[in-house]
Structure 1
Amino acid sequence: MPRVDRRALLGLSAAATLGGLGLLARSGAAEEARALPAPALDQAGGTGRAVFAGGCFWGVQGVFQHTVGVTRAVSGYAGGDRASADYETVSTGRTGHAEAVEVTFDPAQVTYGALLQVFFSVAHDPTQLNRQGPDRGTQYRSAIFPADAEQDRIARAYIAQLDAARAFPAPIVTRIEADRPFFPAEAYHQDYMARHPSQPYIVINDRSKVAALQRLLPQRYRERPVLVASAG
């Protein structure tokens, strides 16, 4: 399948929307959401910070912005160094970075395990390593960047739990990448789904993820997203 360049879609006019939708539909649609069990191993309290990568950060950010207990969700890059943490360079697929989202959360409202359940259930397809939907490359890999040893342990246990239950038709290939810093992305990537709900890429690949969160995990869904802009 051809790789769709999201940069070429940023300036699509309304007149070009149908053509953009057709291109995206041919190149790969949104991942299928699924109901998953909660993690058997979880934690009370914790750091209140988590970093996830699962394809384009627009959709992953949008999902967590609609998740109860999340106080901030920032699109960015994780896995590489500071010097290469910009969109043009990361898009080459040669930096070690993945498009990622840093989630700040209130442990009294949502646990790290609950965030993992959201991540695996609706935010992306964890059986795809270096691709999601129409996007291809290591920068779109499925990865978790644990903040500490406890998050690492819980994430690995949940992956083992889901694989043992054969929750997916193929093995989970999500990578656990410890001790990797997170770097926020450019301002124009923040709150992208909320600001551009009718953009063709968002319509095809991402809006259904938020709808799946509401349908499959209604107790985790909040209607009004928490935005980077409003959080200051």
Structure 2
Amino acid sequence: MRKFALTLAAAAGLAALAASGAPAVSAERAVSIPPPRVDVTASGLQAAVFAGGCFWGMEAVFEGVKGVQSVTTGYAGGTKATATYDQVSSERTGHAEAIRIVYDPSKVSYGTLLQIYFSVAHDPTQLNRQTPDEGPSYRSAIFPQSPAQRQVAGAYIGQLNAAKVYPRPIATRVETGQFYPAEAYHQDFARRNPSHPYIVRWDKPKVAAFRAAFPSLAK
């Protein structure tokens, strides 16, 4: 199910609820997890690429993290020729909806970004889906931008699985692939469309959960 496929009735109901100022749902809760035992040491601006369901909500969460300079929505894991929303929606291109985070490691580390990613940005135990959205383009995946990131990401998945902090095994894959920016209308979507029914139902609670769980990291 694509995020634009909300029924008209559901969209109208959620839009009315948003206009009334009443919360559509209670804030989701972050999963309490330990930080990575190992982290990446780096200097200068760095990039991280994560996939975890709809890129609107992922972008909204990480835009609010101190030390994050920018977040771009896009597609990772497939080719440049098929990196468009219509083609990715076919679920035949190999892409995942993803975000590219540019961050200052002197203010927030790669390991901390991973902790937010696994704790609150999405459910890493869901295979090829997130909440109402289904298909491999909604898979949980990390696209390391350096060998050090790959080592830390793999070790952290092992650490979390061993700690049994989730009721099911982690489905997150550590992959290789290029990142391609999405269309302009997908960029900063939650910030530009705060009353959109999908944002109200799924993404605002996620952002609230991040701020509640990581208050010292919120802008």
Match for residue 22 of structure 2? none
CA-atom RMSD, angstroms? 2.3
Counterpart residue type for residue 62 of structure 1: A
Counterpart residue type for residue 205 of structure 1: W
Which of the numbers 56, 59, 64 marks the counterpart of 1:58?
56
Distance, in Å, in 2 between the alignment partners of 1:183 and 1:31 is 30
CA contact (8 A) 2:27 2:209 kept: no
Change beyond 3 A, Cα 1:75–1:21: farther
CA contact (8 A) 2:142 2:174 kept: yes
Which of the numbers 18, 35, 41 marks the counterpart of 2:32?
35
CA contact (8 A) 2:140 2:173 kept: yes
Give the C-alpha shift of residue 94 in structure 1: 0.4
Match for residue 214 of structure 1? 211
Distance, in Å, in 1 between the alignment partners of 2:11 and 2:111 is 41
Change beyond 3 A, Cα 1:16–1:101: closer
Counterpart residue type for residue 40 of structure 2: Q
Distance, in Å, in 2 between the alignment partners of 1:32 and 1:159 is 20
Match for residue 71 of structure 1? 69
Change beyond 3 A, Cα 1:30–1:6: farther
Match for residue 191 of structure 1? 188
Superposed CA deviations along residues 158-206 of structure 1, whole A, max 9, x for unmatched, are 111111111111000100002x110000000000110111111111111
Give the C-alpha shift of residue 8 in structure 1: 4.0
Distance, in Å, in 1 between the alignment partners of 2:87 and 2:140 is 19
The normalised TM-score by structure 2 is 0.89
Secondary structure of 2:123's aligned partner: coil
Aligned residues: 210
CA contact (8 A) 2:95 2:137 kept: yes
Counterpart residue type for residue 66 of structure 1: G
CA contact (8 A) 1:128 1:173 kept: yes
CA contact (8 A) 1:30 1:206 kept: no
Distance, in Å, in 1 between the alignment partners of 2:205 and 2:99 is 18
Secondary structure of 1:206's aligned partner: helix
1:150-165 correspondence to structure 2 within 5 Å: 150-165=148-163
Give the C-alpha shift of residue 44 in structure 1: 2.2
The normalised TM-score by structure 1 is 0.85
Secondary structure of 2:141's aligned partner: strand
Distance, in Å, in 2 between the alignment partners of 1:163 and 1:109 is 27
CA contact (8 A) 2:29 2:209 kept: no
Superposed CA deviations along residues 129-156 of structure 1, whole A, max 9, x for unmatched, are 2000100000000000000111000001
Counterpart residue type for residue 115 of structure 2: Q
Change beyond 3 A, Cα 1:213–1:164: same
Counterpart residue type for residue 90 of structure 2: T
Secondary structure of 1:44's aligned partner: coil
Give the C-alpha shift of residue 45 in structure 1: 1.5
Counterpart residue type for residue 53 of structure 1: A
Identity %: 52
Give the C-alpha shift of residue 7 in structure 1: 2.5
Distance, in Å, in 2 between the alignment partners of 1:182 and 1:70 is 18
Distance, in Å, in 2 between the alignment partners of 1:169 and 1:56 is 22
Secondary structure of 2:93's aligned partner: coil
The unaligned stretches of length 5 or more in structure 2 are: 18-25
1:205 matches 2:202: yes
CA contact (8 A) 1:30 1:133 kept: no
Change beyond 3 A, Cα 1:129–1:20: farther
